[in-house]
Every structure is written in C-alpha cells, then in structure tokens.
Amino acid sequence: MKIDAHQHFWEYDPIEYDWITSEMSVIAKSFLPKDLDSILEDHGIDGSVAVQARECLAETDFLLELAKENPKILGVVGWIKLFDQNLESNLVKYSQTTDLKGFREVLQAKDSSFFLCEGFKKGLKIILNKGYRYDILIFEHQLDSIQELVKSSPEKPMVIDHLAKPKIKSGEWKEWKKKMARLADREYLFCKISGMVTEANWPKWSQEQLSPYMDIALELFGPDRLMFGSDWPVCTLAGTYEKVYGIVEEFSNQLSKDEKEAIFGGTAKSFYKIDNK
C-alpha cells in the first residue's frame, strides 16, 4: 500500500485559518478530498493521512466526517487538548471510530513551558497508553525541549513532523543532526520526510539543497522509521505535488525495493495501524 502520510483539508475561512498570511494567498481557499483524489491516483498513491490544521475539537470532527465519506482518507490525526480535565471523556467520544489514529498540536507556535508542564505530560501519557499516535510539530530550536518531553513520556510510537523543520533556507544542518540523533536513538520515534520545500527558499530550492537533510534522516532513522508526506496543500507555496513527490522519489532510488516501499507506505501503514478501507 502506497501512502501519503501527511496532508491537510480545510474549508477556508480567514478567521479560522488566521495562520495563512498574505504571502500565503495561494492556499487561502478551500482544499477538499475531491481536489486531492486525482493527484493521488496520478502518483499511484492509495490514500493519505489527514492531519489537523486548526486547534479545536471541531477540526477533529470535520476530518473524521471527511474520512467517513472518502475511502482515500486512510486515517486522521486530529486535535485534542491534552491538559484538560475533560480529556478522558473526549476520548470516549472518539472511541468508536477506527479512523482516528492520533493527535497533534501546533507546538511550533508554543513556548516549551506549554508542553513541559505536568498537565501536558499527563495528557500525552493518557493518549499514548490508549494506543493513539502523537505527531510532534516543532522547529529545530525546540528539539532540546522535545528531548526532555520524550524522556518523561511512555516509550510509545510518536513521529516528528517535517524533520523538525531544519534551517534549510540557510543550509545549516550540523546542530540539527546532533539534536535529531539523540531522538533517533529511541527506536519508538519516527520521522516524516515532509515539509522541506516550505523551509527552503520557496521559488529557488533545489534537489541538491534538500538532499543532505534526507540523507541524514535516513542515516539516523533508517527506512523503517521514515515516511513520505506531501504536506499538501501547504507545499504548493513552494512547489506542486508532483515536484514534492519527485524529491523523495529521486532520493529513494538509491534504496532497495523494500526500503523504498517502507518510506512510501509501509512505515505509515504500521505506525498509524492502517487497514485497507
């Protein structure tokens, strides 16, 4: 099974999606499954994992409704407030659906005190012990704090989104590699090869500029803990789906058939516990 492990849907509203700035006007419109289905088919992709783009329970419900109606949505990574006295009851609400695979918050916009507080740690422990996955969305400068969070969490599968957003635009990678290596030592942590083009110079990035980061991710995590994600439609700020797919396709040509299949679906299928719909 070939899987895009990271993409988004939304019905655009400037207030609900206030993170879409004026320079991002190309994505200031609605993106729904009907807009993605043919793109997936063109690339031989069986389906995708839809990831939250708003921080509210309505976002989780929205994505689950889309998943119910669209067989190409193989799983949902929703949002839930981890340090909330209603966490357990909210989880009961979602316990009857198999489409909900995990949760994510926009930690990249938060101070470390937000996710290192005891309430957050307790909530993370609850969802992980219930079998949900957690997507870690951060910038490179937050890696030390995430290391601290991970050390205090159950040894359950979590995934680092977008390679922790290294400084691709400036071509820096040495400090990022050191910090990522400490996380990669934990075999229950995974990484998505996604979000690279939007961390580069949008109109001027190249395969050569991105290759070192993919090489390092492969060295640290291995193909069985890496997964391709397009980050569509956000990726269209800097390139088409075809170009973003092509980056990882060209990179993976150095690998064996089994290793390539892991990155393009096998890892995601196992990590998110995806069954054929």
Tens-place pLDDT, residues 145-176: 999 999 999 999 999 999 999 999 999 999 99
With respect to residue 277, please indicate whether it lies within any of the assigned structural domains.
Answer: no
Share of the chain above pLDDT 70, in %: 100
Beta-strand ranges (E) seen in the chain are 3-7, 47-51, 73-78, 100-105, 133-136, 158-160, 189-193, 226-228
Q: How confident is the model at residue 276 (pLDDT cuts 50, 70, 90)?
A: confident
- Domain for residue 36, yes or no? yes
Task: Classify residue 276: in a domain, yes or no.
Answer: no
What CATH number corresponds to the domain at position 124? 3.20.20.140
Q: Is residue 31 part of a domain?
A: yes
Q: Mean pLDDT throughout 50-57?
A: 97
**Domain count for the chain:** 1
The pTM is what?
0.96
Q: What is the mean pLDDT of residues 95-122?
A: 96
For 243, residues 6+ apart whose C-beta sits below 8 A from its C-beta are 197
Please give the pLDDT value at position 146: 97
Q: What range does the domain containing 183 cover?
A: 3-271
Token pair for 37: 């289905």
Q: Phi and psi (nearest 5°) for 183? A: -75, -40
| Angle (nearest 5°) at CA 8 between 132 and 93 | 40
Query: What is the three-class DSSP state of 263?
Result: helix
Rounded to an integer, the average pLDDT of 19-43 is: 97
CA distance 238 to 259: 27
Among 184, 181, 125, which residue's Cα sits nearest to residue 155? 125
The stretch 177-206 carries a mean pLDDT of 97
pLDDT in tens, 202-243: 999 999 999 999 999 999 999 999 999 999 999 999 999 999
- Pairwise CA distance, residues 6 & 228, whole Å: 8
- Domain assignment present for residue 13? The answer is yes
Quick one: pLDDT at residue 277? 63
Does residue 193 sit in helix, strand or coil?
A: strand
Please give the average per-residue pLDDT across 245-273, as a whole number.
97
Residue whose entry in the numeric block shows the structure tokens 């991970």: 150
Q: For position 77, what pLDDT does the model report? A: 98
In a domain, 33, yes or no: yes
Alpha-carbon distances, residue 232 vs 6, 23, 238 (angstroms) = 8, 17, 11
- Residue 42 confidence (pLDDT): 97
Rg (CA), the chain: 17
